[in-house]
Chains A and B, each alone.
Chain A
């Protein structure tokens, strides 16, 4: 159960090697080492490293296989986690691919992989987690969207389109499940310097995973339904949205 301060007892990370998600878990469990964390991700060194990092902080970590291209895989991961043990207080939906943007709009396989991971599987997981949390009568879903979803741009519009879709889904889901005591928080980070963006030119207002995590946890504790990271991004995005497309196209973003 989540307590009055916002300390949680059990967290499920779907996309358990995501740097932003792991930073969020660290932040969320700061000071209280008695939480349990389940990392659902592809088996391998990245998941193993993530798990041992969290164990090193005193957390109890379970690793579970997840292949989001395979529906039965995420059904099994979510089912197995909710079926046994304590209630799951927080689920982080943190998987996603950035891919090669130029291939993504020209190569069918690349386009479909990106939509399946970032959109289809996110929706699928959202449906299953929502069902479990409604039965629990409490819980929080953290959906990692992106500012790229707010505004289609030439440089990453396929990625942006998948995030726009998942963002819309989780925004609506939040309204749908609120009467059952379940909260959904949609997180819209700008450019984050992680493994996923290594090699890309950092955009203005770029940030670290820890900085995003701080915004997420503050948003969770304040009961917000969406947050931007950094927070100023909210106003930047709302400004950009009103620019004429000809101007927007010329901006180096």
Chain B
């Protein structure tokens, strides 16, 4: 049963070894949970969280990706019931031809439904549609005592599980409300913004008119061009908005992977000069303004999925993603972050900025109203740790918080300050799992 293997997150940092078991039937998993040793059990999806959230050193990790059946689709009501190991890629391939789209998609399709609920993920539509958990109508959860319960949004355990990072139990199945669409395309407006003020002003004014919105910031631009960026916003395309040759197969969705990154990249390949050169080309390539462009869902939402295992380009030391949200009014924190990073010369390819709308009900859900900035940073620079520790302090002082699905380095002391409902979550979890069977490296690191 299972093999002992080293696991990491997408950032390839802090490996730890666990007994990895491919998920079997409910009954089998239930026995595995009941028979767990002191090092506990954790569910894992596609391992797209960046840090140590889907690792359980010395314990059991249930790999849910073998449980990926689509159980029921109700096209009329736009509802689907799926097993938790199904990926959003799979769902899109099945659902788009039926004129249905997932309610929320992250920057990659290679996440599981279980992972999407456990991290309560957000997409480019958060400002209008909220996070993933708000579109879930039921969850079948395997609990620490081996029983399975169907949870609905009326129960506290539902909201402890949404955003609960796998620590309340194993999500086996879920029912999702879908978004009806006429095509597998989006209509996209692109604008180049000169600096941070320009960008924030455009987003504040215009975002509410779009379903989807995100900005890519060139992190190496300094001085008066600090925050120069490309803002892309759009809507799901109606059939009549497509060029006529696409209209007959408007809902066809067959994205292909173009390439896979080779396994060996030297550390330090992404340095200040290579990234500067890349960003310069990328920024110049973007149109000053372009309206009404039709883009496929894959290229609009998941540009990075075109290259498999692209995380390898960061070399053996790996990388981390630093993502926080600060409330509206704390724009200075965004500016300071960009200033400090660009001054430090640490090469971040791009930063992604989004405006969050209203928060959901998950006790530990990340999104709250404000600006969320996400940056990929390669490891290796000696001063990275100190720099991020200083940034943490600024973000926390501004009333901000960090995304646990991306985190790989926060100190335990930061969590209570960022997540005011932590104690409420702990109480619900303690009731559902008094022995602490469900645990992870993230939970150990942050004392969750």
Contacts and interface: CB of A to CB of B under 8 A. Distances in A.
Q: Tell me the interface secondary structure of chain B in the complex.
A: loop
A138 interface: yes
A181 B388 CA distance: 27
Contacts of A1: 14, 16, 52, 57, 441, 444-445
Interface string A132-154: 00011110000000000000000
A8 to B, nearest CB: 10
A4 B11 contact: yes
B44 to A, nearest CB: 14
B413 interface: yes
A31 B411 CA distance: 11
A200 interface: no
A218 B381 CA distance: 11
A4 B58 CA distance: 18
Interface string A1-31: 1111111010000000000000000000001
Interface string B1-39: 000101000010111111000000000000000000001
Given A1-B14, A138-B58, A181-B15, A7 B409 contact: yes
A102 interface: no
B4 A4 contact: no
A232 interface: no
A87 B320 CA distance: 23
B318 interface: yes
Contacts of B316: 223
Contact of A137 (B18, B386, B409, B412): B18
Contacts, number: 81
B384 interface: yes
B409 A87 contact: no
Given A34-B413, A135-B39, A179-B4, A4 B57 contact: no
B222 interface: no
Q: Tell me the interface secondary structure of chain A in the complex.
A: loop
A32 interface: yes
Contacts of A218: 382
Nearest to B441: A1
A87, A138, A223 pick with most chain B CB within 10 angstroms? A138
Interface in B390-447: 408-413, 441, 444-445
A7 B385 contact: yes
A136 B389 CA distance: 27
Interface residues on B, range: 35 or more
Interface in B51-83: 51-52, 56-59
Contacts of A137: 16-18, 39, 56-59
B325 to A, nearest CB: 20
Interface residues on A, range: 20 to 34
B411 A136 contact: no
Contact of B57 (A7, A9, A31, A87): A87
Given A181-B15, A181-B16, A222-B317, A3 B445 contact: yes
Contacts of B409: 3-5, 7
B124 to A, nearest CB: 26
Contact of A32 (B14, B59, B318, B389): B389
A79 B388 CA distance: 35
Nearest to B17: A181
Given A3-B408, A34-B412, A137-B17, A181 B6 contact: yes
A20 B382 CA distance: 21
Contacts of A2: 14
B17 A9 contact: no
A180 B4 contact: yes
Interface in A84-136: 86-87, 135-136
Given A2-B14, A3-B445, A4-B320, A136 B385 contact: no
A179 B57 contact: no
Contacts of A136: 39, 57-58
B379 interface: yes
30 contacts: A1-B14, A1-B57, A1-B441, A2-B14, A3-B14, A3-B409, A3-B445, A4-B14, A4-B51, A4-B379, A4-B408, A7-B409, A7-B411, A9-B412, A32-B389, A32-B411, A34-B412, A34-B413, A135-B58, A136-B58, A137-B16, A137-B18, A137-B57, A138-B15, A179-B4, A180-B4, A181-B16, A181-B58, A218-B382, A223-B317
Given A4-B14, A137-B17, A137-B56, 10 more contacts: A3-B51, A3-B408, A32-B389, A136-B57, A137-B39, A138-B14, A138-B15, A138-B16, A179-B4, A181-B6
